[in-house]
Amino acid sequence: MPQNSSAPLLAVLSLLAGGVSLASAQSSTPSSAARPTVNQNINYADGTYTAKGWYGGLPSSITVTLTLKDSVITKVGVQTHATDPTSLDYQRRFAVAVPKVVIGKPIAEVKVGKLAGASGTPDGFNDAVAKIKAQASK
């Protein structure tokens, strides 16, 4: 095997060892599947909206109230429904933490992950936000 033919193989092995997949090494433009799809062309009507968000296997729920102005969240409230003390604690901590994360953000961009130790409650929040987006769409 000539020496020059091993250079591409070494480059691929180097990329793979560095945690970069071959697929991403081949293309500098991300595929549409890799890009988040946020439609920022939707305008949402100003107002206060409420929706119940469901999550988990039991299932669990929270009620979310959002106030929108120019498609931006200006106020948020979370009503907890858990009866189990541990679940209720997670829901309450989430309810205290979420305003710092979403107030001032366009609703089209809001999707929360694990927050204040709660890993399931954000799923309920995101479910409620999706329902509110549908209610507020112009």
**pLDDT tens, the chain, 138 aa long:** 444 444 443 333 333 333 333 333 333 333 333 334 445 578 999 999 999 999 998 789 999 999 999 999 999 999 999 999 999 999 999 999 999 999 999 999 999 999 999 999 999 999 999 999 999 997
Q: Which domain holds residue 12?
A: 1-32
Determine, yes or no, domain membership for 91: yes
- For residues 98 and 51, state if they share a domain: yes
- For residues 25 and 64, state if they share a domain: no
Determine, yes or no, domain membership for 25: yes
- For residues 131 and 105, state if they share a domain: yes
Determine, yes or no, domain membership for 39: no
Q: Edge-to-edge strands of the sheet including 60-69? A: 47-55, 60-69, 72-80
Q: Angle CA(71)–CA(39)–CA(128) in degrees, nearest 5? A: 60
How many domains is the chain built from? 2
